[in-house]
A and B are shown apart, each in its own frame.
Chain A
Amino acid sequence: MRVLYPFLAVIAFILIALVGVRIPGGQSLIGIVLPYLAILAFTGGFVFKVLGWARSPVPFRIPTTCGQGVSLPWIKQNKLDCPSTFWGVAGRMLLEVLLFRSLFRNTKASIHKGPQLAYGSSKWLWLVGLTFHYSFLVIVIRHMRLFTNPMPAFLHALEFGDGILQVGAPQLYITDLLLVGALLFLFVRRLVMPQVRYISLANDYFPLFLILGIGITGILMRYFIRVDVVGIKQLAVGLVTFSPKIVGDIGSLFFIHLFLVCLLLIYFPFSKLMHLGGVFLSPTRNMANNSRMKRHINPWNDPNITPHSYAAYEDEFREFMVEAGIPVDKELAKPAESAAAGPAAEAAPAEG
């Protein structure tokens, strides 16, 4: 169910798009109305979510320290894994966001006769994760060709680099292969690895299928089933200049592709895909480990919470303290007085 339903959902979305383009007004709906709605939902949802996180304070300074902290001058601090300054944190965050630093540490534990535990290096998730994200990024940037006229130079360079293998015509983009390959790996990994399979939810499979659907329709359009690129570009430029129009017969495949992209944008802010925003705000990563150097303020710190006072403590134990020769703030009361005063301390727990 957790695998099948999301798969069927993506198939259903494809069918909806397929039918949609054939009904009157359907193409405008998918090609013009939906993209605007999707962009609105994405930016609105993204901003709403991030503001929602930001609204909650960070009461305590809780970085996870992953190396030697700042200490005595001759002890070498690990400035990236245990930063104590803004620039150190910036470095840590860059490593985290751009290179998936934490995932790079990944190990795989196994248990053997003895019992003996072993921890092997396990960098596949890191490598494939990185591949997926960067391929996706390059592909998104490549799509800028549809919105720009003339194309900026860096796009030409990017396309040239991506097609450097010079295979086939039109030239094969490496990132197309990598994206689909990485998605299949992530999908198979979820199915095959017992631990990951057990924790996976429908909302883990759905984005995989959705992005796979986007990737496959895109690849089909580029390499196998021709669509009207001129028409697409006209629509794309029209969309960004707020004068969209659909000219001629672009081809159903394009509308399916666009429909799935719009769904991804709409789905994004409501899903785990928001890790894109969350990683920047994660308090265990984006805070300096300087809490003994610089006081961190908790906006809801309650000044009314105070310790059991020394005075009450001494009241309860004064006799013992005096007898043991421990200094006291108030001398022992005269016997008669003390009996009248009674037990001044709070009720004691049943057992000391």
Chain B
Amino acid sequence: MTMAVPKADKLGVSVTREPSLMTGAVPSKSWMDTPVEFKPGNFCYPAKKSIVEYHKFPNPRDWEPVADDWKLPANWKDIILQGIKERLDKFRSFKIFMDCCVRCGACADKCHFFLGTGDPKNMPVMRAELLRSIYRNNFTTAGKILGKLAGGREMTFGVLKEWFMYFYQCTECRRCSVFCPYGIDTAEITMMGRELLHLVGVNINWILEPAANSNRTGNHMGLQPHTIKDNIGYLCDDIEEITGVKITPTFNRKGAEILFITPSADIFAEPGIYTAMGYLLLFEHLGLDYTWSTYASEGGNFGLFTNNEMMKKLNGKMYAEAKRLGVKWILGGECGHMWRVIHQYMDTMNGPADFLEQPTSPITGTRFENAASTKMVHISEFTADLIKHKKLKLDPSRNNHRIVTFHDSCNPARAMGLIEEPREVIKAAANNFFEMPANTIREQTFCCGSGTGLNTDEIMELRMRAGLPRANAVQYVHDKHKVNTLACVCAIDRATLTSLMNYWVPGVEVCGVSELVGNALVMDGEKERETGLRFEPLAGEGE
């Protein structure tokens, strides 16, 4: 079931005209006195009972966010307060971010959800205050004495509803954190908020079901081993048709030098599959000794959007499989949140990876010093190194039909610092590249609006609103430079930006960086290419 989403021109007028804090209208009531109201379209569907049971999470049941009774456990308030206490003791970030905010407001208009909705509670500072007010009331001296005067408030059902609403209107993109003078990171707050909600059985299906699939089948899509092999086989068939080159990749092969892991969306749906075709062509071009895995067949990790235990559990497969297969190191595909987990959590959670070797490119001999401990390399790092050493035969004119801009995905940009590598790859693989305005790229990049498991159709209008800042910047280069291709290094982006472009900037296609590479690669024994990897006509062909 899809909610009726207003047409872009109508929503476009509404975001600029409707009174909101973004358009200069000040709400008459204090935020503490403004209850949330759930209605179809402004919330994600709750997790199915069977899925919650599968994860062995508390309080599995059927429930409705619009209902007055969420069937919470009788002592739910105590559970929440106890949960806050535990997390204050476990995470210094949480403790400091609860104490330090001075409400200077620098973060207020940095959030894509706020820019697109004008909803005051989408200002990062306000989102944190939803939780901070409870912290003050129950865990600080001033709050215990002065209560509301010190910005504290009682934990109530209304507060819980607010949390469910607004911790699922944050994509943990960390843009606010770039601007905060104390580095307060709303992603941390939202993560804590979601963990707390799980304690009383409040969660969404779009996150927990893929997480369940990933646990059981190895990937979010629930693709079983033979299906994975089949799907990649179909991609190889297409490659053969387009290039004349026959590729036969291996699966779960012990003794391969490299294990390759990418989000399962890349082998499942457009336009991710074209990115996967790019990987396949690249590895074939190099004669790389690598294998796919059907067991560790998911790069992404919806545990990051659930809680740290789930993140660890799902991530554990990568090292487990690398060890089982006896590979030397791991190469990772294009995905945003996947790389946040790999870069900032994996080694801590599931390391040390002492059974692997420090990654070294078998083609160039480059040792990836920056991955010395984790032993996992990003495909853009790997490819940029190949390009620098002139190991790839590229014909960038094959991408002449594409006028490209690059969307920095939140996590590579703000949780990894992977900014130049994909740009180097794009510039080598395509001739027409234009940057979006400076305030919307690199560490200031805007989220696609649907990250952290919010890429579900029932909140489409919200997603289109939250994606507006990104879309707007694409619109700018679309108008100015006729940009028709939005490249990115994220599987969620490839899916969500496609919806976003179709909505706000029709005529712009979304692709992975590796698709551009695959398109430009001159393969041994290939036939003359008449189309790109999407069977689209090349520049000068059929136009």
Check: B466 CB closer than 8 A to any chain A CB.
no
9 further contact pairs, Cβ within 8 A, besides A65-B414, A292-B373: A56-B88, A59-B90, A71-B418, A196-B104, A198-B126, A285-B183, A298-B349, A321-B294, A349-B51
Interface residues of B in 1-45 (CB under 8 A from A): 12-13, 15-16, 21-27, 31
User: Can you list 6 residue pairs at the A/B interface with Cβ under 8 Å?
Assistant: A78-B417, A82-B417, A111-B16, A114-B16, A272-B99, A323-B226
List the A side residues contacting B15 at CB < 8 Å. 111, 115
Q: Does A345 contact B (CB under 8 A)?
A: yes
What's the tally of chain B residues with a CB closer than 8 Å to chain A? Answer: 131
* Residues A184-233 near B (CB distance < 8 A): 193-204
The 8 Å CB contact of A100, one of B181, B217, B308, B421, is B181
Stretch of B105-113, B451-459, B491-499 that contacts chain A: B105-113
A114 CB contacts on chain B under 8 angstroms: 12, 16, 472
Q: Is the CB of B181 within 8 A of A112?
A: no
Q: Which residues of A contact B (CB under 8 A)?
A: 5, 49, 52-62, 64-72, 74-78, 81-82, 84, 96, 100, 102-103, 105-109, 111-117, 119, 125, 129, 193-204, 270-272, 274-275, 278-279, 281-285, 289-298, 300-302, 305-310, 313-314, 316-317, 320-321, 323-327, 329, 345-352
* Partner-A contacts on B (CB < 8 A): 12-13, 15-16, 21-27, 31, 48, 50-51, 54, 88-97, 99-106, 108-110, 115, 120, 123, 125-126, 129, 140-142, 149-151, 174, 177-185, 188, 209, 212-213, 215-218, 222, 224-226, 229-230, 251-254, 294-295, 308-309, 312-317, 320-321, 324, 342-345, 347-349, 351-352, 366, 368-374, 376, 381, 384-385, 388, 413-421, 424, 437, 439-440, 442-444, 468-469, 472
Cβ A296 vs Cβ B348 within 8 A? yes
**B12–A275 CB distance below 8 A:** no
Q: Select one of A100, A200, A300 contacting B103, CB under 8 A.
A: A200
Is B316 in contact with A283, judged by CB distance below 8 angstroms?
no
Q: Among the listed A64, A195, A275, A327, which residue makes an inter-chain contact with B123, where contact means beta carbons less than 8 Å apart?
A: A195
B104, chain A: closest CB distance, angstroms: 6
CB closest chain-A residue, reference B351 = A295
Question: With A and B bound together, what is the CA distance between A139 and B121 in angstroms?
Answer: 38
Q: Contact at B178–A105, with CB atoms within 8 Å?
A: yes
Q: In the complex, which of the residues A84, A285, A292, A321 contacts B225, with contact meaning CB atoms closer than 8 Å?
A: A321
- Asked if A65 meets B224 with Cβ closer than 8 Å, knowing A295-B348, A324-B229, the reply is no
**Chain B residues in 8 Å Cβ range of A119:** 437, 439-440
Identify the closest chain B residue to A70 (Cβ).
Answer: B370
A350 vs chain B, min Cβ distance (A): 4
Q: Across the two chains, which residue of chain B brings its CB closest to A281? A: B96
Decide: A202 and B309 in contact? CB cutoff 8 A.
no
CA distance A324 to B224 in the complex (A): 11
- B211 (CB) vs chain A CBs: closest residue: A349
CA distance A56 to B388 in the complex (A): 44
Contact for B90 among A65, A203, A300, CB less than 8 A: A300
Does the CB pair A307–B320 fall under 8 Å?
yes
Contact flag A324-B225 (CB < 8 Å), given A204-B102, A313-B295: yes
Would you call the interface of chain B mostly helix, strand, loop, or mixed? helix
Contact of B347 among A284, A291, A347 (CB under 8 A): A291
A-B contact count (CB 8 A): 359
In angstroms, Cα B94 to Cα A103, docked, is 21
Whether the Cβ atoms of A308 and B216 lie closer than 8 Å is yes
Which of B92, B125, B180, B351: most chain A Cβ within 10 A?
B92
State whether A111 and B23 are in contact (beta carbons under 8 Å apart), knowing that A106-B179, A295-B347 are contacts in the complex: yes
Contact B96 A282 (CB under 8 A): yes
Give the distance to chain B from A238, nearest Cβ to Cβ, in Å: 32
Q: Are B439 and A326 in contact (CB under 8 A)?
A: no
Q: A305-B313, A348-B216 are in contact. Are A278 and B99 (CB under 8 A)?
A: yes
Residues in A whose Cβ lies below 8 Å from that of B109 = 107-109, 195
B439 touches A107 (CB 8 A): yes
Report whether A278 and B468 are in contact in the complex, using a CB–CB cutoff of 8 Å. Answer: no
Q: Inside 8 A of B351's CB, which chain A residues have their CB?
A: 295
- Please state if B443 and A349 are interface contacts (CB–CB under 8 Å): no
* Of the residues B105, B215, B225, contact of A326 by C-beta under 8 Å: B225
**Which residues in A have their C-beta under 8 angstroms from that of B420?**
68, 71, 75-76
State whether A62 and B347 are in contact (beta carbons under 8 Å apart), knowing that A56-B95, A102-B179, A317-B225 are contacts in the complex.
no
Whether B177 and A52, one on each chain, are in contact in the complex, defined by CB atoms closer than 8 angstroms, is no
Smallest beta-carbon distance A11→chain B, Å: 16
CB-CB under 8 A from A52, the residues of chain B are: 95
8 A-B pairs closest in CB distance = A69-B417, A307-B316, A278-B100, A324-B226, A284-B183, A65-B417, A352-B222, A196-B105
Which residues from B are CB-within-8-Å of A301?
Answer: 312, 348-349
Task: Indicate whether A196 sits within 8 Å of B348 (C-beta atoms), given known contacts A105-B178, A116-B472, A323-B226.
Answer: no
Complex Cα gap A5–B148 (Å): 12
Whether B142 pairs with A349 at a CB distance below 8 angstroms is no
CA distance A120 to B349 in the complex (A): 41
Residue of A whose beta carbon sits closest to that of B314: A307
B180 CB contacts on chain A under 8 angstroms: 102
- In Å, the complex CA distance between A346 and B54 comes to 9
